[in-house]
Homo-oligomer: A and B are copies of this chain.
Amino acid sequence: MAGTNRTDENRTGGPAIILVEPQLGENIGMVARAMANFGLDDLRLVNPRDGWPNERARASASRADHVIDAVRLYDTVEAAAADVTYLLATTARPRYSLKAVRGPDEAAQEMRVRVSKEQPVGILFGRERFGLSNEEVDLADEIVTFPVNPAFASLNIAQAVLLMSYEWMKSGLEEGAAPRFTAPEIVPAEKDELYRFFAHLEETLDGTSYFFPPEKRDTMVHNLRTMFTRASFSEPEIRMLRGVLRSIDHRLARGGE
């Protein structure tokens, strides 16, 4: 069902909240409630541990049934973010020095500008135990982190969603004022395009022995993805890169002489 979000008549058009492998139904329910409090309704789950539907989630949603009923399920983060053009990853610690890091208020304002131009946006939230993997953070454009007390930094998932939803609501109240950030003229490709380019690039490079030695493959993939995500290529640009890869693939298949 990815890719249908923009045309859903009943949605409010706020950011998609994407929970990656949430464990407790109670937390999913509290997330739904927090979203409803601040007018969000696009909740997406990637492999919830206890399956879906989940009655504990509904019970702890405190009648945010419209959010629970509209939940969409995905097998991968890539699929959940496929129609999104600006994707944020929430993290508790500074793992990714090359991505821009925003506070929740700044991130909400940036999302508001993009949504006003009908560019779908989304936010990734990690597992209760250990958050998002490095590979998952790689899939996002930028990082959001919360200004917490360093000595006690563990926000739970429902609290993190609450703060982002609250800042989203606040950013809409300030709409009269000129936005502090302006979206780029060039619209970034939907993530689905970007992720398919990643897969293509990595497959081609597996064929050229770029990933050497093999134990460094993960790091090298990470570095490539970070670089190409940061570039915010548009859909025509991604198509051009795919064309470059195809020409290399064909030449390799024909023999390199």
B162 touches A148 (CB 8 A): no
- The yes or no answer to A115 lying at the interface (CB within 8 A) is no
List chain A positions with a Cβ less than 8 A from chain B: 33-34, 36-39, 62-64, 93-94, 96-106, 143-150, 152-156, 159, 162-163, 166-167, 169-170, 173, 176-184, 186, 205, 207-210, 223-224, 227, 230-233, 237, 240-241, 243-244, 247-248, 250-257
From B34, B153, B178, A159 is in contact (CB under 8 Å) with B34
Residues of B close to A163: CB separation below 8 A? 162-163, 166
Residues of B close to A208: CB separation below 8 A? 247-248, 250-251
A209 touches B251 (CB 8 A): yes
Distance in angstroms from A148 CB to nearest chain B CB is: 5
B250 touches A251 (CB 8 A): no
A103 touches B179 (CB 8 A): yes
How far is it, in angstroms, between the C-alpha of A179 and the C-alpha of B142 when the chains are bound? 13
Q: How many copies does the complex hold?
A: 2
B230 touches A186 (CB 8 A): yes
A36 touches B177 (CB 8 A): no
How far is it, in angstroms, between the C-alpha of A257 and the C-alpha of B251 when the chains are bound? 10
How far is it, in angstroms, between the C-alpha of A136 and the C-alpha of B63 when the chains are bound? 28
B247 touches A210 (CB 8 A): yes
B101 touches A182 (CB 8 A): yes
How far is it, in angstroms, between the C-alpha of A153 and the C-alpha of B255 when the chains are bound? 54
- Having A159-B162, A162-B162, A255-B256, one finds 8 other A-B pairs with CB under 8 Å, namely A36-B149, A37-B155, A39-B149, A100-B183, A105-B170, A148-B169, A148-B180, A255-B257
Distance in angstroms from A156 CB to nearest chain B CB is: 8
How far is it, in angstroms, between the C-alpha of A216 and the C-alpha of B35 when the chains are bound? 42
A/B interface sample: 16 pairs, CB < 8 A? A33-B156, A36-B152, A37-B155, A62-B156, A94-B180, A99-B183, A106-B176, A147-B177, A147-B180, A162-B163, A163-B166, A208-B247, A209-B247, A210-B243, A252-B256, A254-B256
